[in-house]
């Protein structure tokens, strides 16, 4: 049986959280197709590559893959930016590499895709029994959120119930990763334009892999 190997190249190390979302989508769309994935952490290399083309070349050597995921934040709430970001990525890759590449362009940034599961946020904050009100946006309007990263961090701090010195020690970056780990079902994201584009490309590239 084929095993689908995938690699993620992301904007920053904190965006390796996307591995959880990628894995969920692959398992949900292709439940009979085994997969294994890696985050391309170039910081461990003696001469970390710069530029996307060089990163892909290094990923082929150190993190070999059948399909490649490349993450870019939209940095705007306009859905029109998705195609622009995809074309920016395409311009930097050889065609043979782009054909097996899936671009991940959340609107406005990765944290947008984590702002829908209250229970996951509470668990990630280390306080699943938090009884206060956490004001998260409705999923249908979450792509209009101007500062999703700031909002998620504030929600995590609030849910932690910590105060003073203990709150200052609270590791929000680690908690963000735990939000993704505690979400069991990402299907609510399927009403979002960026997530629809993401899964549309998954189907195109993975179907081609299966038929080879």
pLDDT at 14 over 90: no
In this predicted model, what pLDDT tens digit does every residue of 33-44 receive, in sequence order?
999 999 999 998
Reduced to 3 states, what is the DSSP secondary structure of residue 157? helix
Maximum distance among all alpha carbons in the chain?
58
pLDDT at res. 27: 98
Q: Mean pLDDT throughout 21-46? A: 96
pLDDT at 12 over 80: no
pLDDT at res. 91: 95
Predicted confidence band at 195 (pLDDT cuts at 50, 70, 90)?
Answer: very high
In this predicted model, what pLDDT tens digit does every residue of 113-133 receive, in sequence order?
999 999 999 999 999 999 999
pLDDT at 13 over 80: no
For residue 212, the surrounding DSSP H or E stretch is none
Predicted confidence band at 19 (pLDDT cuts at 50, 70, 90)?
Answer: very high
pLDDT at res. 74: 84
- Phi and psi at residue 192, in whole multiples of 5°? -90, 140
Q: Mean pLDDT throughout 62-79? A: 91
- Beta carbons within 10 angstroms of residue 70's beta carbon: 27
pLDDT at res. 44: 86
Domains and CATH numbers, the chain: 4-107+192-211 (3.40.50.2300), 111-182 (no CATH)
What's the CA dihedral at 41, 44, 45, 46 to 10 degrees? Answer: 150
pLDDT at res. 77: 79
Q: Which residues contact 144 (CB under 8 A, 6 or more apart)?
A: 77, 137
* DSSP string for residues in 110-152: GGGGGTT-HHHHHHHTT-TT--S---PPPGGGGGG-S-HHHHH
In this predicted model, what pLDDT tens digit does every residue of 137-192 receive, in sequence order?
999 999 999 999 999 999 999 999 999 999 999 999 999 999 999 999 999 999 99
Instruction: Residue 63: name the closest of 2, 9, 1, 3 by CA.
Output: 9
pLDDT at res. 21: 98
The dihedral sign for the CA sequence 10, 16, 20, 26: positive
Mean pLDDT of the chain: 94
Q: b/e for 158-177, b at 16 or more Cβ within 10 A?
A: bbbbbeeeeeeeeebeebbb
SS3 content of the chain, % helix, strand, coil (to 5): 55, 10, 35
What percent of the chain is modeled with pLDDT above 90?
A: 87
């Amino acid at each position: 049986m084929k095993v689908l190997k995938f690699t993620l190249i992301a904007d920053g190390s904190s965006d390796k959280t996307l591995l959880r979302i990628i894995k969920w989508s692959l398992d949900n769309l292709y439940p009979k197709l085994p997969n294994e994935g890696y985050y391309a952490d170039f910081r461990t290399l003696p001469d970390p590559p710069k530029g996307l083309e060089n990163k892909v070349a290094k990923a082929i050597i150190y993190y070999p893959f059948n399909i490649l995921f490349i993450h870019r934040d939209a940095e705007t709430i306009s859905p029109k930016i998705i195609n622009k970001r995809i074309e920016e990525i395409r311009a930097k890759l050889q065609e043979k590499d782009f054909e097996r590449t899936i671009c991940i362009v959340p609107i406005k940034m990765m944290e947008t895709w984590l702002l829908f599961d209250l229970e996951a946020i509470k668990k990630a904050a280390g306080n699943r029994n938090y009884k206060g009100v956490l004001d998260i946006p409705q999923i249908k309007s979450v792509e209009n959120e101007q500062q999703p990263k700031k909002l998620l961090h504030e929600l995590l701090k609030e849910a932690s119930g910590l105060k003073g010195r203990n709150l200052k020690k609270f590791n929000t970056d680690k908690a963000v990763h735990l939000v993704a780990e505690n979400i069991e079902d990402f299907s609510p994201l399927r009403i979002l334009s960026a997530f629809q584009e993401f899964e549309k490309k998954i189907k195109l590239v993975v179907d081609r892999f299966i038929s080879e």
